[in-house]
Amino acid sequence: MNEIYKTDALIAEDIDQYLETHQHKTMLRFITCGSVDDGKSTLIGRLLYDSKMIFEDQLATLEADSKRVGTQGEAIDFALLVDGLAAEREQGITIDVAYRFFATEKRKFIVADTPGHEQYTRNMVTGASTADLAVILVDARKGILTQTRRHSYLAHLIGIRHIVLAVNKMDLVGYDPAVFDRIVADYRDFAQSIGIADFTPVPISGLAGDNITTRSDNTPWYDGPVLLEHLEAVELNQTAEQLKPFRMPVQWVNRPNLDFRGFAGTIATGQVKVGDDVRVLPSGKTTKISRIVTMDGDLDMAVAGQAVTLCFADEIDCSRGQVITAAKKPVEVADQFEATVIWMEDDDMVPGRAYWLKIGPQTVSAVVAQPKYQINVNTMEHLACKTLDLNGIGVATLTTDREIPFEPYTESRDLGGFILIDKMTNRTVGAGLLNFALRRAQNIHWQATDISREHHAAMKNQKPLVLWMTGLSGSGKSTIANLVEKKLARMNRHTFLLDGDNVRHGLNKDLGFTEADRVENIRRVGEVARLMADAGLIVITAFISPFRSERDMVRGMLPAGEFVEVFVDTPLEEAEKRDVKGLYAKARAGELKNFTGIDSPYEAPDAPEIRIDTTRMSPEEAADMIIAKLIP
């Protein structure tokens, strides 16, 4: 063992000196990528084993397991050390990201052990998102494979700056330098084609231990660094981040009493000193840093990666999600972007649907348009697509409901990386990278008109409303809507009825009944209803509108209180029994696809303003009840 691990003697002789050394170690996070047979788990197992991170009891378990289920005969199967969950052990594959820890004399390491199969792309992206470096494993006998290209592409996409090409199992090709050189040359061609400027190739054997901690006698022709040597020397992201302009997203406003107001957050990039001029975005207000507060005493200066609390010289507004930046080098603010989206959910992405977008501590509502293209992660080809399915990666326009401070992902992971959250299930369904702001949104300004919506409403002597009827086909929406409109007309109210079937003959005749088309149908109707409400009208709509997300989207388009959701609640059996248009019969016969209630879901409202139980109420009674609620 060389000087990479000399700890034992020092620990025994001078523990204080050892602690002093250990205390000043830096930390490198890396991922290992490879497919099942590339020897990834064996390599990690060996790294842990060599750094004495494996204790005797674990070793005893390992030895027993090796004999029972191992693949190395009587020898120790290092792979078993790192294959965690019971189900995974049975299947012999690594399903999820597992984090491992070891340390050398210079650094502590966190290894994200990520699965190799294409169906686990999202897991690999998760592991890669915090990594400084990627070790791409290649089996010397097989050379560059499809998955090598995929892993390299993903590592590069997620912004990993240091790539190690570990050509493994050199023992099985007789440590032949020609094999190594050919693989390196192949990889260089590919790497350059996807924009990887540099990488470090190392010939290794995880099983035999060549060139991992010590230089191997089996590869006298190799003069590059051994694996751990390189991992100890490579520049950390944390170091590179400090050289960029100062940015700190605010996580939490600390206000324990009237005398103290501090802004807590983790510095994303750059450095900050007391007295620095800063600008808060999106408000654009400027001030100076008066204090950098920590429990261990005030600091003069803080750098990227530190979690601190900043105080301002002036009382300016600043809250969670806003970004404190260098005054002279602020970040951009925008609400429309080109983004690369990685879909991570079993259900396909729904273009046009509003998702929560979380970028650092900031959460906004966002809509992803139909992708411009999807990337085939095996061939890097751009393919036309309507949406993204699980593990799909595509480029699309993304629109947020308000302006957000951001930076391109290549500049800052914190200010350019986002996750998408489903508004109903709250699951993280996607992740993405902001590439750049689209200027279009900024150049089309809202035309201010002299006659305001209040003026329109005042002339009609009424409060504009959108009365949104939702329910199954045949529930009675149109019948009730029609009665409501007649009654309102009799009361001299200015109304307009937008009917689902009618709109599909004109405005929306280009749309079908897929989930994406249904979303777009409702979006257009919502926009039309909003324009009519702006004109002062009481708008009545009768659409199945099966998804909560889209009803909530329309609700969000209107001022508070102007959207009235009316749930026309008719059980499926009842609607099917009525079957006024004969549609249920067709759907049951398989002649109509995507029919709500049959082979497409209906998401009932959680808390509608008005609920109509049509099994207990005639349409006439229902209409009267609605009027009574609207005009008390």
Partner 1 sequence: MHVTNLTHLQRLEAEAIHIMREVVTQADKPVMLYSVGKDSAVMLHLAKKAFYPAPPPFPLLHVDTTWKFRDMYALRDKAARKAGMQLLVHQNPDAVRQGINPFDHGGLHTDMWKTEGLKQALDLHGFDAAFGGARRDEEKSRAKERIFSFRTASHRWDPKNQRPELWRTYNARKNKGESMRVFPLSNWTELDIWQYIHLENIEIVPLYYADERPTVTRDGLLLMVDDDRFALADGEEPVMRSIRFRTLGCYPLTGAVESTAKTLPEIIQEMLLTTTSERQGRAIDHDQAASMEKKKQEGYF
Instruction: Please give the residues from 341 up to 380 whose contact with partner 1 meets the rule CB under 8 A.
Output: 344, 356, 358-361
Q: Distance (Å, rounded) from C-alpha 501 to C-alpha 229?
A: 69
Judged by CB under 8 A, the residue of 140, 236, 339, 388 near partner 1 is: 236
Ligand-binding annotation for 601, yes or no, is no
Handedness of CA 429, 433, 436, 442 (dihedral sign): positive
Token code pair at residue 586? 């067709």
Q: How far is CA 436 from CA 86, 253, 334, 396, in A?
A: 43, 29, 9, 11
Stretch that binds partner 1, among 165-173, 197-205, 296-304, 529-537 (CB under 8 A): 296-304
* Residues 516 and 442: beta-carbon distance below 8 Å: no
* Residues 614 and 574: beta-carbon distance below 8 Å: yes
Closer to partner 1 at the Cβ: 27 or 572? Answer: 27
Ligand-binding annotation for 321, yes or no, is no
Ligand-binding annotation for 37, yes or no, is yes
Judged by CB under 8 A, the residue of 254, 286, 376, 600 near partner 1 is: 254
340: left (phi over 0), alpha (psi -120 to 50) or beta: beta
Stretch that binds partner 1, among 330-338, 396-404, 409-417, 566-574 (CB under 8 A): 409-417
CA 278 to chain centre: 29
Judged by CB under 8 A, the residue of 4, 33, 76, 125 near partner 1 is: 125
Judged by CB under 8 A, the residue of 36, 63, 72, 110 near partner 1 is: 110
Closer to partner 1 at the Cβ: 130 or 218? Answer: 130
Q: Is 221 in the site for partner 1 (CB under 8 A)?
A: no
Handedness of CA 280, 442, 550, 632 (dihedral sign): positive
* Subset of 20-59 contacting partner 1 (CB under 8 A): 22-27, 55-58
Ligand-binding annotation for 559, yes or no, is no
Ligand-binding annotation for 36, yes or no, is yes
Judged by CB under 8 A, the residue of 107, 215, 382, 588 near partner 1 is: 107
* Subset of 530-569 contacting partner 1 (CB under 8 A): none
Handedness of CA 615, 621, 625, 630 (dihedral sign): positive
* Subset of 63-82 contacting partner 1 (CB under 8 A): 82
Q: How far is the CB of 102 from partner 1 (least distance, A)?
A: 9
Q: How far is CA 321 from CA 52, 303, 405, 436, in A?
A: 43, 19, 9, 19
> How many residues in the shown chain lie near partner 1 by CB under 8 A?
85
* Residues 46 and 125: beta-carbon distance below 8 Å: no
Q: How far is CA 502 from CA 186, 281, 542, 586, in A?
A: 60, 46, 10, 21
Residue listed under structure tokens 């998401």? 603
Q: Is 6 in the site for partner 1 (CB under 8 A)?
A: no
Q: Is 413 in the site for partner 1 (CB under 8 A)?
A: yes
Stretch that binds partner 1, among 146-154, 392-400, 414-422, 451-459 (CB under 8 A): 414-422
Ligand-binding annotation for 35, yes or no, is yes
Q: How far is the CB of 221 from partner 1 (least distance, A)?
A: 35
- State phi, psi for 122 to the nearest 5 degrees: -65, -35
DSSP string, 66-132: HHHH-SSTTS--THHHH--SHHHHHHTS--S-EEEEEE-SSEEEEEEE---SGGGHHHHHHHHTT-S
Q: Is 320 in the site for partner 1 (CB under 8 A)?
A: yes
CA 503 to chain centre: 35
Judged by CB under 8 A, the residue of 72, 200, 214, 251 near partner 1 is: 251
Q: Is 328 in the site for partner 1 (CB under 8 A)?
A: no
Q: What's at 263, amino acid-wise?
A: F
Choosing from 129, 152, 412, 545, which is the catalytic residue? 545
Ligand-binding annotation for 473, yes or no, is yes
Ligand-binding annotation for 39, yes or no, is yes
Q: How far is the CB of 118 from partner 1 (least distance, A)?
A: 16
Q: Is 426 in the site for partner 1 (CB under 8 A)?
A: yes
* Subset of 145-204 contacting partner 1 (CB under 8 A): none
* Subset of 502-521 contacting partner 1 (CB under 8 A): none
Q: Is 431 in the site for partner 1 (CB under 8 A)?
A: yes
* Residues 129 and 158: beta-carbon distance below 8 Å: yes
Q: How far is the CB of 594 from partner 1 (least distance, A)?
A: 27
Q: How far is CA 70 from CA 63, 74, 115, 397, in A?
A: 9, 8, 19, 49
Q: Is 545 a catalytic residue?
A: yes
Sheet with 277-281, edge to edge strand ranges: 247-249, 323-326, 277-281, 285-293, 307-312, 260-266, 252-257
Q: Is 273 in the site for partner 1 (CB under 8 A)?
A: no
Which residues are known binding-site members for ATP? 471-478
List binding-site positions for GTP.
Answer: 34-41, 113-117, 168-171
Which residues are marked as active site? 545
